[in-house]
Structure 1
Amino acid sequence: MSCRITELVIDCADPQRLADFWCEVLGYVELGWEGDDHLEIGPPGTGFGGPQPTLLFGRSTEPKRGKLRLHLDVNPTDRDQEAELERLLAAGARKVDIGQPGAATWHVLTDPEGNEFCLLRRRVEAVESDPNTR
């Protein structure tokens, strides 16, 4: 037997703000609130338990301290890296220097709350939602 990642939990000050940002980045939709403090998003028509993990944003009053020990890497699906970078910046991402090499083939960005993620160069196929579960 083995496990698989079904959801990633991200502490944040404003779950709605981060959910809106990551829905725009990933093409996800809101799946719902768990109480007043946790908002889950995931692939449309699939939700929890599908081939892609959902993201659960949990309200926290603790400030982010330093570089994250875990971060997300994203790849463009329908455009080249530079066009995707422009889309992500327009959605609210910011470029950040964390000491990556000058010749890096990826861009280090932060979401609206300063959580780092990387935009990689390689284009990948989008994961299609199951139309029977919509």
Structure 2
Amino acid sequence: MTYNLQIVVDCADPHSQADWWAETLGWTLEGTDPDFIKKMIAQGHAREEDTTTHNGRLVWRAGAAISPPGEKDLPDRRRILFQPVPEPKTVKNRLHWDMRLAGDDRDVVRARLEARGAKFLYDAQQGPYSWYTMADPEGNEFCLT
């Protein structure tokens, strides 16, 4: 038997992180239904404090998710969930992901991401392979390969 998994990223601002990564990866932001949220509050299943407004829309405070285009309605979709945590990031991640650029120029992608708030950390090489290690706007490391 095989299992599917969801990657979860702890962060300070899950909705901004989801926006940033959706644009970076070309993935789709999973929308929320404000009418459903209001209904859950009205029925006592949720509280106003469980919500927030992001980009003018009522959303759940507990997180935001992204998935590849065409997969967002599939129950077994690939998915990254961004969830809020109270503590700030203080040390290097023990897990990161590599963005495979599929032939795009690494320097061009690096400049585009830096313009959107990413930080270049260092470049590295092992044998014929080289990559840039970067950090997203909240400091989570990732590589451009």
Q: Which band: TM-score by shorter chain?
A: 0.7 to 0.9
Offset, 1:91: 2.3
TM-score, reference length from structure 1: 0.75
Larger Cα-atom Rg: 2
**What does 1:1-134 align with in structure 2 at a 5 Å threshold?**
1-5=1-5, 7-33=6-32, 35-47=60-72, 49-50=76-77, 53-77=78-102, 79-97=104-122, 101=124, 105-120=130-145
Alignment root-mean-square deviation, CA: 2.2
Aligned partner of residue 88 in structure 2, secondary structure: coil
Which structure 1 segments of 5+ residues have no match?
A: 121-134
Aligned partner of residue 11 in structure 1, secondary structure: strand
Q: What is the rounded CA distance, in whole Å, between the counterparts of 1:39 and 1:101 in structure 2?
A: 32
Q: What is the rounded CA distance, in whole Å, between the counterparts of 2:118 and 2:108 in structure 1?
A: 14
Which structure 2 segments of 5+ residues have no match?
A: 33-58
- Identity in percent: 38
Q: What is the rounded CA distance, in whole Å, between the counterparts of 1:106 and 1:96 in structure 2?
A: 11
What whole-Å deviation, never above 9, does each CA across 1:29-75 have from its counterpart, x for those lacking one? 2113584211111112212523xx21101011111121110001101
Q: More strand per residue: 1 or 2?
A: 2
Q: More helix per residue: 1 or 2?
A: 2
Q: What is the rounded CA distance, in whole Å, between the counterparts of 1:25 and 1:35 in structure 2?
A: 22
Number of positions where the alignment pairs a residue of Structure 1 with one of Structure 2: 115
